Amino acid sequence: MEILSVLTGLGMIAVLVAFFVRARRGGGGIRQVMPGSPDAADPANYGFIREEELDIRLPGPDQDFLDALGNVQRSGRWQAASALLAGTPKEGELRWQRVQCFGGAAALELVRQPGAGAQWLKAWRLEAEKDPGGAQVHAELLVQQAWRASGGVGTTDHRIIVEEALEACRKAALLAPGDPVPFITELAIARALHYPEAEFDVLWAKVMDLAPDHMGAHLAALQYWCEKWHGSREQADAFAHAAAARAPRGSLLAALPLFAVHEHLPEVNFVSSFWQSEVVTRAVEGALYAVHQARPDDPMLAHVRHMLLAFLVNMERWAEAMEQVRFVDGYVGALPWSAGAEPAAAYAVYRALAVAGYEANGGSPATLPR
């Protein structure tokens, strides 16, 4: 599932594949390895999940969500999903994340079974029109479908679906006063429809009034500033650093500059010196600090760890990269993997790089903390 569907773009995977197969010069770094050779590093030796078993629907574990989703997909009935969202507080990140996950699961069903998938969501909207959870999931589904629209962004199909998504967001907001989720979903629409700054500022003020420290909302807003129009790096960086500077202790907002750097990766040349630059180093150190200060149960923690993994591999900081794998392995429903067509394959390449680099520098399954 493309969780955080408002976030797009990954420029690293092709670079990393090339990086993986070339020989490194000098003392440290990853050695060139061939499958089956004595030097080939096997992620399975660490107990990591096989690529075909990686869960693309979630960034990290959420058994209550998986139980509810399994129930609605088996039965075709929506009540388990509704009950889960009704019992998830509107404060914090978890409700927004679960809405995205349900919307993404429905989108995947419709891709795999056009016209026949996601019958549980159709029934939910028909039988419980005033259920705020169903309205929010429907709005999220439409946003995700808009990015898959025939012909892509800017086409007539895309515009029609985005307009429908906007109407759905506003209906959802009326059904759940005080809930930031519909407004956060609308942030993706603000980007797609090129809201003028004044209109965006009104929407952002609503979000900040309800959830001023919401990491997911800031990630969505970052996309607006990155897109405007197209790619205002200065505005995006200023937004990310301002949010990080005012982040309360324990907030993952301190990691926002890392996501800002990621958004501009296609603009840079992928030379080794870039990954050692002050801009990248500061962003990574800020994200590592945020991770170490965050609550272990913060729903956004996995998102930051996934992004850190990609950067740390590029920086050849193998032990720290393996630390991220240790925590997130099994789930790949997050950026940067979800930006591409094959999230599990993209993640598996980086994981293999992390393992190979770790072992080339003296690491082994015995030395990796459990």
Q: Which residue has the tokens 């005033």?
A: 130
For the ranges 31-40, 146-155, 347-356, the lowest mean pLDDT is seen at 31-40
- What would the pLDDT profile of 215-268 be if each residue is shown by its tens digit? 999 999 999 998 875 556 788 899 999 999 999 999 999 999 999 999 888 666
Residues pairing with 55 in the sheet: 331
Over residues 298-351, the pLDDT tens digits come to: 999 999 999 999 999 999 999 999 999 999 999 999 999 988 889 999 999 999
Q: What share of the chain is helix, strand, coil (3-state, %, to 5)?
A: 65, 0, 35
Q: 267-303, pLDDT tens digit by residue?
A: 665 677 888 899 999 999 999 999 999 999 999 999 9
Tens-digit pLDDT profile for residues 132-190: 999 999 999 999 888 776 555 667 777 888 899 999 999 999 999 999 999 999 999 99
The rounded distance, in Å, linking the Cα atoms of 181 and 188 is: 12
Amino acid identity of residue 301, one-letter, is: L
Q: In angstroms, how far is CA 189 from the centroid of its own chain?
A: 17
CA–CA distance, 98 with 121 (Å, rounded to integer)? 14
Alpha carbons 315 and 155: distance in angstroms, whole number: 38
**pLDDT score of 194:** 87
Using an 8 Å Cβ cutoff, are 59 and 328 in contact? yes
325 and 354 Cβ atoms separated by less than 8 Å: yes
Place of tokens 């590592």: 288
Q: Tell me what the mean pLDDT of segment 96-118 comes to.
A: 92
Is residue 9 pLDDT above 70, yes or no? no
Closest to 295 in 3D by CA, of 327, 325, 251:
251
Q: What is the pTM of this model?
A: 0.87
Residues in CB range of 158: below 8 A, 6 or more apart:
146, 147, 149, 151, 152, 192
pLDDT computed for residue 260 by the predictor: 94
User: So what's the pLDDT on residue 93?
Assistant: 93
Cβ atoms of 338 and 58 closer than 8 Å: no
pLDDT, the chain, mean? 86
